[in-house]
Amino acid sequence: MVDLEMDDGLAVLTIDRPSARNAIGPATMDRLDKVLDAVTEAADTTHALVIKGAGDKAFVSGGDLKELAAIRTESAAMEMALRMRGICDRIAAFPGPVVAALNGHAFGGGAEFALAADIRVAADDIRIAFNQVALAIMPAWGGAERLAALVGPGRALLLAGTGQVLNAQEAEQAGLVDRVLPRVSFEEGWRELARGLAHPPARQIKQVMRPGGTAREAARVFARLWVTDEHWAAAEKVMPRGT
């Protein structure tokens, strides 16, 4: 239901529910928490995380309406929203870069799930929408706040308030997607990008970019990297040699 691949500093989390278009229900939330526990346990050697859906039709189609239809009270709805918000917060708080590989459409809660990542890479034929208003509800997994921070309050209200559906190119222009890749090379493209981020310096860059970072903190992290064997080995390759 939720698969985890660990490979040389890169973790890939895949929601694999093709029959439900990778929708998220209570059992999927349980599995997401367990998989994120495993990622956290390997955090010292895992430098980047990818979140994606299985197949090429849906990234995450949102909440599983069949399963979530059992929720009929305000308190139960609030509990569910806070639980999934917590999962998205865990993804956002991963210490290294997080990439959402939009292999398919991302609607409603799926769009919120994508915004928990630092970077979104999309196949050129996908669509994305914060269209919860079609069900007379609103984003509650942290997507409203993250959307406002990403594109500004006015544009965020327009997108979430109308449920406008954007294609990949429109999403890139709006700032929702950072890179659009051809469908034929999408798998190779997101892997190459993610592997390019799966190293300690990118992880440290994310940390100093967080709100509240200071010049002294950035200098301290830089100095720590400066004295590593990896830095000097890389520098040796590019420093001019005497004749």
The answer to whether residues 124 and 220 belong to one domain is no
The answer to whether residues 180 and 73 belong to one domain is yes
Q: How many domains does the chain have?
A: 2
The answer to whether residues 116 and 169 belong to one domain is yes
pLDDT at residue 221, as a whole number: 87
SS3 for the chain is CEEEEEECCEEEEEECCHHHCCCECHHHHHHHHHHHHHHHHCCCCCCEEEEEECCCCEEECCECHHHHCCCCCHHHHHHHHHHHHHHHHHHHCCCCCEEEEECCEEECHHHHHHHCCCEEEEECCCEEECCHHHHCCCCCCCHHHHHHHHHCHHHHHHHHHHCCCEEHHHHHHHCCCCEEECHHHHHHHHHHHHHCCCCHHHHHHHHHHCCCCCHHHHHHHHHHHHCCHHHHHHHHHHCCCCC
The answer to whether residues 146 and 205 belong to one domain is no
Average pLDDT over residues 147-162: 98
- Could you tell me the sign of the dihedral formed by the alpha carbons of 62, 39, 149, 104, in that order? negative
Report the Cα–Cα distance between both ends of the chain, in Å, rounded: 60
Q: Tell me the CA distances in angstroms from 88 to 29, 92, 100, 119, 183, one per residue in order.
A: 10, 6, 12, 14, 26
**φ, ψ for residue 89, nearest 5 deg:** -65, -35
Find how far residue 151's CA is from the centre of its chain. 16
Confidence of residue 242 (pLDDT cuts 50, 70, 90): low
Tokens 């769009």 belong to which residue? 111
Convert the pLDDT of each residue in 53-89 to its tens digit.
999 999 999 999 999 999 999 999 999 999 999 999 9
The answer to whether residues 205 and 233 belong to one domain is yes
Average pLDDT over residues 3-16: 97
Average pLDDT over residues 127-153: 98
What domain range is 33 assigned to?
Answer: 2-195
pLDDT at residue 243, as a whole number: 45
Number of alpha carbons in the 13 Å side-chain half-sphere of residue 82: 6
pLDDT at residue 140, as a whole number: 97
In a domain, 243, yes or no: no
Closest CA to 59 of 117, 115, 111, 19: 111
Q: What's the CA gap between 86 and 216, in Å, rounded?
A: 31
Convert the pLDDT of each residue in 21-42 to its tens digit.
999 999 999 999 999 999 999 9
In a domain, 65, yes or no: yes
Convert the pLDDT of each residue in 193-220 to its tens digit.
999 999 999 999 999 998 877 888 889 8
CATH number of the domain encompassing residue 39: 3.90.226.10
pLDDT at residue 76, as a whole number: 98
The answer to whether residues 15 and 56 belong to one domain is yes
Q: What's the CA gap between 48 and 201, in Å, rounded?
A: 11
The answer to whether residues 7 and 117 belong to one domain is yes
Q: What's the CA gap between 134 and 144, in Å, rounded?
A: 15
The answer to whether residues 60 and 134 belong to one domain is yes
The answer to whether residues 76 and 114 belong to one domain is yes
pLDDT at residue 38, as a whole number: 97
Convert the pLDDT of each residue in 79-129 to its tens digit.
999 999 999 999 999 999 999 999 999 999 999 999 999 999 999 999 999
The answer to whether residues 91 and 211 belong to one domain is no
